[in-house]
């Protein structure tokens, strides 16, 4: 496990997320079993499996299906009845523990918003060392026709300290943020759109 | 033109004494402010890129103040390229009229809102209710004070002055009105669970959403919302109409300036690198999307901000609403936010309320709500010299005749006497004689005229029998004179 992934896991856990890391298909399946046994019993999922969130469905589907024998709801009528939402990420930044989700037609945001549990699938190639590097990527996306109308940077579960300054999770958004990181292989990164001109004050960090 | 800010008509002494008598609020505010101040210190110490980013953001904000009109045009063009409809509202009235017109046009009956200080400044909720639109605050702290019919007491934690028992009572009453189950207990977790349940249906059924904006990136037409609860994401994805109401000073020129500024509110406000959710709005729903608004309106509000440029107070436009000055201020720590009688409490409020409103509101604040300890100026991440501005406001106030005549005359007399060494010594001789009336147990317990107020909560040492000069003359000069 390299430093960036270690950093990311540390930050996410500090913010109150549950993080699972696997280096093989069997380890990842075990992670999903743990999630299932921990009482996160999805009665239906969000668009995770059948939707566009996962750039490599041939990799993830068997892993999830081995642990979660539940029906997949791609565009459920009653989104509010879903108990677990599954999404991927566009990228994940290690130094701030941030998961970037772009809301597009293939990757809607409601699975990360309405259900009380949000499961996020991250592949090693999507982890960047700094928030700045991730935002550089978003800038590239913004230059092209792929500009996402809504972007959500998640750095922890829903929380508030509005009552007596005491920290409480799960106000309106998900109570539990569960992140599964796959240390193997590469997911194709939807690369930069053609020629994005920039005036820079700093150089982007390389991974 | 001066901005329109809501005014609390209660006189300052009553607001002050009411705050000082509220032990619950003072304890809660005291704990919360100290915790955040320490957390901020630790967070920057552990994150050197955050400090570098702060300096970049500070410079970017100064650039915004310099180039505001041109950046405003640039931002509107970028927003419109993204599919938004934009307006600039010169005053609060114009902003409210515009928002009301948009809601009417779309036959909106119910609105959900995420937290926005600017909408409090515009008194938007009240005015929309008057126009027959039901508005629901979704930020937990704002929801609590909406139920209580109160104003927020802190920029970041609007219900910081309320304790659990008080909140439970509010929720119980609310549950009775709505015919739903009340909170299970007064535990913070159960109170929060009640709010979650209670607001979920309103999220799903609202016709329109209204947000504020923490930043607006001119280069890309991106509105940035910084939240922790998840309510801003509800407001931006579920209703069919979205309106973002943003102060013109919230601009940032380029994406790289946003990259620098994005971590500052959380680092400086509560000592975290980012809040739980940083939401970027870059357009309404695209074809093929099943969520997001069909139409996105951005109302950019001036309300006195543009007029601050070229005054000694223009740097106040660099404020990122982190709340650090509130947390560091000894006056705020004792009084909480309500005592200021303004939408913007604390040191930034002491400056902005009279400055934005051009003395129509909060004119007493620079004199009564500040000890000039400079904690705010030291802690502000955007380098806003609040202490200098407060002194400048005091000077302005005197020039405008804002000080009672007897008080002004007393200060003038004092200044005359102390303008020369001889005058100073003469005044000390008078004081030595006159203090007879005010001595008790070796201390001074009073003074004549308006100075008596100083002694209501203090005593002073008595005037010494000899000044240093008198002692020196008596003991040294005699001794050194040889023959």
* Mean pLDDT score across all residues of chain A: 79
- pLDDT at A176 > cutoff 90: no
- pLDDT at A46 > cutoff 60: no
* Mutation choice for B interface testing from A11, A131, A164, A170 by most B CBs within 10 A: A164
Residues in chain B closer than 8 A to A87 (CB atoms) = none
CB B208 within 8 A of CB B202: no
- How far is the C-alpha of A160 from the C-alpha of B276, rounded, in Å? 10
Q: Which of A190, A185, A201, A180 is nearest to A64 (CA)?
A: A180
Classify the C-alpha dihedral B207-B250-A160-B121 as positive or negative: negative
- pLDDT at B44 > cutoff 90: yes
- The secondary element (H helix, E strand) that includes residue B161 is none
- How far is the C-alpha of B345 from the C-alpha of B180, rounded, in Å? 36
Lowest mean pLDDT among A33-42, B69-78, B90-99, B448-457: A33-42
* Residue A37 token pair: 């046994």
- The secondary element (H helix, E strand) that includes residue B412 is helix B405-417
The string of DSSP letters for B100-156 reads HHHHHHTT--EEEE---HHHHHTTHHHHHHHTT-EEEE-SHHHHHHHHHT---SSSS
Instruction: Among A96, A159, A172, select the one facing B273 at the smallest CB separation.
Output: A96
CA angle B241, B228, A9 (to 5 degrees): 125
- How far is the C-alpha of A149 from the C-alpha of A66, rounded, in Å? 35
CB B339 within 8 A of CB B15: yes
**What's the gap in Å between the CA of A150 and the closest CA on chain B?**
5
pLDDT tens for B95-128 read: 999 999 999 999 999 999 998 999 999 999 999 9
| Alpha carbon B61 to its chain's center | 18
- How far is the C-alpha of B13 from the C-alpha of A142, rounded, in Å? 53
**Sheet harboring B222-227: ordered strands across?**
A127-128, A91-93, A98-103, A150-154, B277-281, B222-227, B215-217, B251-252
CB atoms A158 and B163 under 8 Å: no
Q: Give me the pLDDT at residue A143, please.
A: 82
A51 φ, ψ (degrees, to nearest 5)? -95, -160
Question: Is A197 at the interface with chain B, CB within 8 A?
Answer: no
CB atoms B288 and A105 under 8 Å: yes
- The secondary element (H helix, E strand) that includes residue B226 is strand B222-227
* Residue A134 token pair: 């991730």
**What's the gap in Å between the CA of A162 and the closest CA on chain B?**
5
Give percent of chain A with pLDDT exceeding 70.
77
| Between A47 and A27, residue with greater pLDDT | A27
* Mutation choice for A interface testing from B158, B227, B259, B281 by most A CBs within 10 A: B259
Q: Which residue of B has its CA nearest to A116?
A: B196
CB atoms A163 and B280 under 8 Å: no
CB B190 within 8 A of CB B231: no
- How far is the C-alpha of B352 from the C-alpha of B358, rounded, in Å? 9
Half-sphere exposure of B394 (CA within 13 A, CB side): 14
What ipTM, to 2 d.p.? 0.88
Q: Give me the pLDDT at residue B29, please.
A: 86
- How far is the C-alpha of A119 from the C-alpha of A121, rounded, in Å? 7
B163 Cβ partners below 8 Å, 6+ apart? A164, B24, B28
Q: Which of B387, B435, B398, B348 is nearest to B156 (CA)?
A: B348
Question: Is A198 at the interface with chain B, CB within 8 A?
Answer: yes
Residues in chain B closer than 8 A to A80 (CB atoms) = 200, 204
Q: Which of A150, A127, A196, A176 is nearest to B219 (CA)?
A: A196
Q: Give me the pLDDT at residue A190, please.
A: 46
Q: Which residue of B has its CA nearest to A170?
A: B229
CB atoms B158 and A162 under 8 Å: yes
B429 φ, ψ (degrees, to nearest 5)? -60, -40
CB atoms B32 and A75 under 8 Å: no
The pLDDT of A12-39, averaged and rounded, is 87
CB atoms A80 and B82 under 8 Å: no
* Residue B153 token pair: 């007491």
Q: Is B389 left (phi over 0), alpha (psi -120 to 50) or beta?
A: alpha
Question: Is A55 at the interface with chain B, CB within 8 A?
Answer: no
CB pairs below 8 Å between A and B: how many?
Answer: 189
pLDDT tens for B364-388 read: 999 999 999 999 999 999 999 999 9
Q: Which residue of A has its CA nearest to B84?
A: A149
**What's the gap in Å between the CA of A5 and the closest CA on chain B?**
17
Question: Is A205 at the interface with chain B, CB within 8 A?
Answer: no
Instruction: Among B32, B192, B272, select the one facing A171 at the smallest CB separation.
Output: B192
CB atoms B262 and A154 under 8 Å: no
Instruction: Among A152, A166, A198, select the one facing B188 at the smallest CB separation.
Output: A166
Q: Which of A111-120, B283-292, B302-311 has maximum average pLDDT?
A: B302-311
| Alpha-carbon distance values, A168 to A129, A159, A173, B138, B190 (Å) | 29, 5, 12, 16, 10
Q: Which residue of B has its CA nearest to A139?
A: B255
Instruction: Among B163, B192, B288, select the one facing A160 at the smallest CB separation.
Output: B192
Q: Strand, coil or helix: what is B409?
A: helix
CB atoms B233 and A109 under 8 Å: yes
The pLDDT of A84-112, averaged and rounded, is 90
Q: Strand, coil or helix: what is B18?
A: helix
Q: Give me the pLDDT at residue A195, please.
A: 44
Q: Which residue of A has its CA nearest to B254?
A: A199
- pLDDT at A58 > cutoff 80: no
The pLDDT of A88-93, averaged and rounded, is 93
- pLDDT at A44 > cutoff 60: no
- pLDDT at A51 > cutoff 70: no
Instruction: Among B49, B192, B277, select the one facing A152 at the smallest CB separation.
Output: B277
Residues in chain B closer than 8 A to A162 (CB atoms) = 139-141, 144, 157-160
* Mutation choice for A interface testing from B30, B141, B194, B277 by most A CBs within 10 A: B277
Question: Around Cβ B329, how many Cβ atoms within 10 Å?
Answer: 26
Lowest mean pLDDT among B46-55, B186-195, B243-252, B474-483: B474-483
- pLDDT at A50 > cutoff 90: no
**What's the gap in Å between the CA of A76 and the closest CA on chain B?**
11
- How far is the C-alpha of A207 from the C-alpha of A184, rounded, in Å? 16
- pLDDT at A191 > cutoff 60: no
Classify residue B2 by its DSSP letter: -
**What's the gap in Å between the CA of A172 and the closest CA on chain B?**
5
- The secondary element (H helix, E strand) that includes residue B245 is strand B241-247
Q: Which of B31, B30, B36, B25 is nearest to B163 (CA)?
A: B25
pLDDT tens for B216-261 read: 999 999 999 999 888 888 899 999 999 999 999 999 999 999 999 9
pLDDT band at A201 (very low <50, low <70, confident <90, very high): very low
| Between B453 and B40, residue with greater pLDDT | B40
Question: Is A77 at the interface with chain B, CB within 8 A?
Answer: no
* Mean pLDDT score across all residues of chain B: 92
Residues in chain B closer than 8 A to A198 (CB atoms) = 255-256
Q: Give me the pLDDT at residue B300, please.
A: 98
Lowest mean pLDDT among B3-12, B68-77, B400-409: B400-409
- CA-based max dimension of chain A: 51
Question: Around Cβ B341, how many Cβ atoms within 10 Å?
Answer: 25
CB atoms B230 and A171 under 8 Å: yes
β-pairing, A18-22 vs B443-444, is: unpaired
Give chain A as a 3 state SS string: CCHHHHHHHHHHHHCCCEEEEECCHHHHHHHHHHHHHCCCCCCCECCCCCCCCCCCHHHHHHHHHHHCCCCECCCCCCHHHCCEEEECCCEEECCCCEEEEEECCCCCCHHHCCCCEEEEEEEHHHEECCHHHHHHHHHHHHHCCCCCCEEEEECCCCEECCCCCCCEECCCCCCEEEEEEECCCCCCCCCCCCCCCCCCCCCCCCC
A43 φ, ψ (degrees, to nearest 5)? -85, -25
Give percent of chain B with pLDDT exceeding 70.
98
CB A47 within 8 A of CB A108: yes
CB atoms A172 and B263 under 8 Å: no
CB atoms A151 and B279 under 8 Å: yes
Q: Which of A69, A73, A55 is nearest to A110 (CA)?
A: A73
| Alpha-carbon distance values, A42 to A7, A67, A114, A190 (Å) | 29, 11, 13, 30
CB atoms A149 and B286 under 8 Å: yes
b/e code B134-144 from CB counts within 10 Å (16+ = b): ebbbbbbbbbb
CB atoms B274 and A153 under 8 Å: yes
Q: Give me the pLDDT at residue A41, please.
A: 65
Instruction: Among B259, B282, B287, select the one facing A148 at the smallest CB separation.
Output: B282
- How far is the C-alpha of B256 from the C-alpha of A139, rounded, in Å? 9
* Residue B132 token pair: 């027959």
* Mutation choice for B interface testing from A97, A163, A169, A202 by most B CBs within 10 A: A163
Q: Which of B124, B9, B14 is nearest to B362 (CA)?
A: B9
CB atoms A157 and B276 under 8 Å: yes
Residues in chain B closer than 8 A to A153 (CB atoms) = 274, 277-280
Give percent of chain A with pLDDT exceeding 90.
29
């Amino acid at each position: 496990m390299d430093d960036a992934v270690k950093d990311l896991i540390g930050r996410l856990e500090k913010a109150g997320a549950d993080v699972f890391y696997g280096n093989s298909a069997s380890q990842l399946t075990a992670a999903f079993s743990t999630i299932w046994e921990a009482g996160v019993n999805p009665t239906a999922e969000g668009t995770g499996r059948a939707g566009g969130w996962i750039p490599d469905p041939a990799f993830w589907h068997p892993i999830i299906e081995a642990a979660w024998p539940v029906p997949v709801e791609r565009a459920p009528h009653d989104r509010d009845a879903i108990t677990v939402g599954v999404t991927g990420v566009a990228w994940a930044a290690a130094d701030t523990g941030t998961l970037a989700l772009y809301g597009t037609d293939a990757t809607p945001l409601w699975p990360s918003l309405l259900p009380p549990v949000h499961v996020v699938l991250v592949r090693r190639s999507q982890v960047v060392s700094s928030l700045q590097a991730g935002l550089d990527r978003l800038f590239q996306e913004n230059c092209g026709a792929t500009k996402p109308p809504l972007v959500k940077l998640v750095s922890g579960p829903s929380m508030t300290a509005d009552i007596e300054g005491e920290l409480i999770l799960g106000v309106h958004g998900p109570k539990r943020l569960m992140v599964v990181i796959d240390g193997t292989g590469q997911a194709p990164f939807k690369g930069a759109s053609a020629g994005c001109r920039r005036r820079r004050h700093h150089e982007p960090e390389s991974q | 033109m001066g901005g329109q800010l809501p005014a609390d008509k209660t006189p300052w002494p009553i607001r002050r004494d009411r705050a000082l008598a509220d032990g619950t609020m003072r304890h809660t505010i005291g704990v919360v402010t100290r915790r955040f101040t320490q957390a901020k210190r630790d967070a920057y110490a552990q994150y050197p890129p955050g400090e570098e980013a702060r300096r970049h953001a500070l410079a970017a904000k100064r650039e915004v103040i310099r180039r505001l009109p041109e950046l405003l045009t640039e931002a509107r063009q970028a927003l419109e390229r993204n599919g938004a409809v934009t307006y600039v509202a010169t005053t609060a009235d114009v902003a409210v009229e515009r928002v009301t017109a948009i809601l009417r046009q779309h036959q909106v009956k119910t609105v959900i809102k995420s937290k926005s200080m600017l909408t409090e400044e515009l008194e938007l909720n009240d005015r929309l209710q008057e126009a027959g639109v039901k508005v629901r605050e979704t930020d937990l702290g704002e929801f609590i004070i909406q139920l209580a019919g109160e104003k927020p007491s802190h920029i970041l934690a609007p219900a910081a002055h309320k304790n659990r028992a008080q909140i439970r009572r509010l929720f119980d009453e609310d549950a009775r009105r709505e015919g739903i189950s009340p909170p299970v207990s007064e535990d913070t977790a159960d109170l929060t669970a009640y709010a979650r349940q209670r607001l979920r249906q309103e999220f799903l059924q609202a016709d329109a959403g209204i947000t504020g904006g923490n930043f607006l990136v001119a280069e890309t037409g991106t509105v940035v919302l910084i939240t922790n609860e998840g309510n801003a994401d509800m407001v931006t994805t579920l209703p069919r109409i979205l309106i973002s109401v943003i102060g013109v000073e919230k601009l940032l020129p380029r994406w790289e300036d946003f990259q620098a500024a994005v971590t500052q509110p959380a680092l400086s406000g509560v000592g975290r690198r980012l809040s739980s959710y940083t939401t970027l709005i870059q357009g309404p729903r695209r074809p093929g999307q099943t969520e997001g608004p069909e139409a996105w309106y951005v109302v950019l509000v001036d309300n006195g901000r543009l007029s601050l440029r070229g005054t000694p107070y223009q740097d106040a436009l660099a404020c990122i609403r982190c709340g650090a000055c509130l947390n560091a201020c000894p006056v705020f720590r004792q009084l909480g936010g309500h005592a200021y009688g303004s939408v913007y409490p604390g040191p930034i409020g002491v400056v902005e309320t009279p400055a934005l409103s051009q003395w129509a509101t909060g004119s007493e604040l620079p004199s009564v709500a500040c000890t000039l300890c400079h904690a705010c100026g030291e802690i502000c991440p955007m380098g806003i010299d609040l202490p200098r501005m407060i002194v400048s406001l005091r000077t302005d106030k005197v020039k405008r005749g804002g000080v009672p005549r007897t008080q002004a005359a007393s200060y003038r007399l004092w200044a005359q006497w102390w303008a020369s060494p001889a005058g100073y010594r003469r005044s000390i001789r008078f004081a030595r004689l006159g203090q007879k009336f005010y001595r008790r147990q070796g201390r001074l317990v009073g003074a004549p005229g308006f100075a008596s107020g100083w002694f209501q909560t203090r005593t002073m040492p008595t005037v010494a029998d000899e000044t240093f000069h008198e002692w020196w003359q008596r003991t040294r000069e005699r001794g050194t004179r040889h023959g």
